[in-house]
Structure 1
Amino acid sequence: MRTIRDNIIKRALKTGAKIILPENSDIRVKEASKELKKIGINIVNIEDFNSKDDKYVDYLSNFKFTKNWSRKMFLNYLNNPLHFGTTLVSIGEADGMVAGSINSTADVIRTYIRIIGIKPDSKWISSIFLMVNSNGKSAYTFTDCGVIPEPTPEQSISIAKNASEFHHLLTEEQPRIAFLSFSTKGSSEHYRVKKVQETVELFGKKYPKILHEGEIQFDAAIDSQISQRKIENSKIKGNANIFVFPNLDAGNIAYKITERLAGYSAWGPLLQGLNKPLHDLSRGCSIQDIIDISVIAALQKKEDLIKKAI
């Protein structure tokens, strides 16, 4: 059986996507770029473009955040590889970008929002981690583990919908979503439980064709025998592959426990909700992290085709 990584690479190579790694002063980025080129991913060298070209100034002059800027301000802004790389993606000279080995997450996401923007049907940026088991042949999606601290029901709906599309893109599996809580189907009463219940009710009305269940405890979401005992006529029958956490505390703690104690690889954070495939790296990232996320960005060029399949 082919590994998930091998399958993603095989499909990503077919997209012909052009990916920018703007922080090439980082030795890890340089090494990752070399490996990606060996694989066959089209890595665009930001230095092949002239940030002083008037077309980039003219392009950015249409954005609200550059109102009343002087030419010098534009050139100073574009001299930053993060800003210039994002502009190249926005203008169509590249298809995706991965940054964050040098720049902070706040700077990366701010730049992405300003220049690329958020999808109209998303309204918010969130993130997933693809948790891949030790043999590389199965995976779960955890969300949101990196962006929204206390999601509202509306935000959780957006997070879950985007995660269902992303999981399908990466694994080619049917999404099976578990909206997690410390309660299963009303076993506890608490305002936090009611919040998840509201989310599930609204999600079901908006996306009735996406298989989902909640509110549900983790054991009932992943173990078929426990699911039978706790839930009558369960939809996902203890076979969830996407876990929507009620807040950032739960999600962030859970992915790190899964990574450290269960030996899963955590691919991410992978950003979702943006108009283009752009991702953030931890400043402590490895060369392999950069490679994996860059390949995923390349695969996302075909995301619109994947959405039609769900």
Structure 2
Amino acid sequence: MELFDSLKFKIVRRNIKIVFPEATDPRILGAAARLKAEELVEPVLIGSKEEITKAAAARGITTENFEIIDPDNFDRWDEMVESFVERRKGKATKEQAEKILKDVNYFGTMLTYMGITEGMVSGAIHSTGDTVRPALQIIKTKPGVSRTSGAFLMVRGRDQEKYLFSDCAINVNPTAQELAEIAVDSAKTAELFDIEPKVALLSFSTKGSAKAPEVDKVAEATEIARKLAPEYQIDGELQFDAAYISAVAQLKAPESKVAGEATVFVFPELQSGNIGYKIAQRFGNFEAIGPILQGLNKPVSDLSRGANEEDVYKLSIITAAQTLMEK
């Protein structure tokens, strides 16, 4: 079964509510209409009903069956403000909260935190920081996870090949502990896409072939990750060729159960992760889907501002599927 067919099967007719703060954007409206028509997601649109209806009409879309929530006329506004002040634990007064919550990303994140919606998709016209910051402040990371991270699903040849690359979006230079947590979170994300997680922590060294503090960090992260999640196959430090090519693995890491068979590739820091996924995308003709934010208590997805309607549609399906991970 093709990847997205499998994900659609998991979420269809489950009435999963996903909030879209950028509801006047034509890409968002087009994707929301498709998701609604296919009964994959119940879109919740944020903003003025008049403005959203006008923008939708320009796309030939009717909003009659959409749930639209206007922050200026929200019947649970006082409850939201009180909940936000409590969640921020003294970092925002009531007056500050009322101002902050007029920001659509904060408002949408609070809808998810309060359980009115189950996840959020934003970023089509907002920066990553504008999307992720409210999620970190309000939804926060799961117990045992110190930081969120961003994974890319890499797909080529109608799902003949699919891998997970992380962290390629968030953490500039994670510590060994953070890298280990990223590895474990990535294994869990891989399972969502029916990828058997064989996790390789990447380096420019394989099993001590080079000596440097950067290598030591990856080796330490591997040991921590194994203790955190002994149920997963995790190995490092491995060079990419040793992780990916079985013939090289036989030479460089013959005793490894991951080398040569890796499906999840964890990069040691953001610079190499970002470069790596873009090389695979541009030279290797992989489709890069993401970033998929990992480690949050509830799913929030960050679109690229260069995203098209298809990107919004696919990331929304992934976000809806993520809501099922803890159920």
TM range (shorter): over 0.9
Matches of 1:301 and 1:68, distance apart in 2: 29
Matches of 2:85 and 2:215, distance apart in 1: 47
Q: How does 1:90-105 map to 2 (within 5 A)?
A: 90-105=113-128
- What does residue 63 of structure 1 align with? 87
- What does residue 176 of structure 2 align with? 153
Question: In 1, are the aligned partners of 2:19 and 2:46 still within 8 Å (CA)?
Answer: yes
Q: 1:78 to 1:68 in 2, by over 3 A?
A: closer
Deviation at 1:234, TM superposition (A): 2.0
Query: What CA deviation, in whole Å up to 9, does each residue of 1:78-106 have, x standing for no partner?
Result: 22221111111111100000111111111
Q: How does 1:1-310 map to 2 (within 5 A)?
A: 2-13=1-12, 15-40=14-39, 41-47=41-47, 48-51=68-71, 52=74, 53-64=77-88, 67=91, 69-71=93-95, 73-170=96-193, 172-305=194-327
Deviation at 1:243, TM superposition (A): 0.3
Q: 1:18 to 1:217 in 2, by over 3 A?
A: same
Q: Give % identity.
A: 37
Query: What CA deviation, in whole Å up to 9, does each residue of 1:41-85 have, x standing for no partner?
Result: 2112335335343222222231326656344x4433222221111
Deviation at 1:218, TM superposition (A): 0.8
* Unaligned segments of structure 1, at least 5 residues: 306-310
TM superposition score normalised by structure 1: 0.92
Matches of 2:211 and 2:83, distance apart in 1: 53
Q: 1:205 to 1:54 in 2, by over 3 A?
A: closer
SS in 1 for 2:165: strand
- CA RMSD, 1 decimal: 1.7
SS in 2 for 1:142: strand
Comparing both chains, which one has the higher relative contact order based on Cα–Cα distances under 8 Å and sequence gaps of 6 or more? 1
Q: 1:183 to 1:76 in 2, by over 3 A?
A: same
Query: What CA deviation, in whole Å up to 9, does each residue of 1:254-305 have, x standing for no partner?
Result: 1001011111110101111111011111111111111111101111121025
TM superposition score normalised by structure 2: 0.87
Matches of 2:13 and 2:250, distance apart in 1: 42
Alignment: residue pair count: 302
SS in 2 for 1:45: strand
Query: What CA deviation, in whole Å up to 9, does each residue of 1:128-171 have, x standing for no partner?
Result: 0000113234310001001001111000011001000011012x
* Unaligned segments of structure 2, at least 5 residues: 48-67
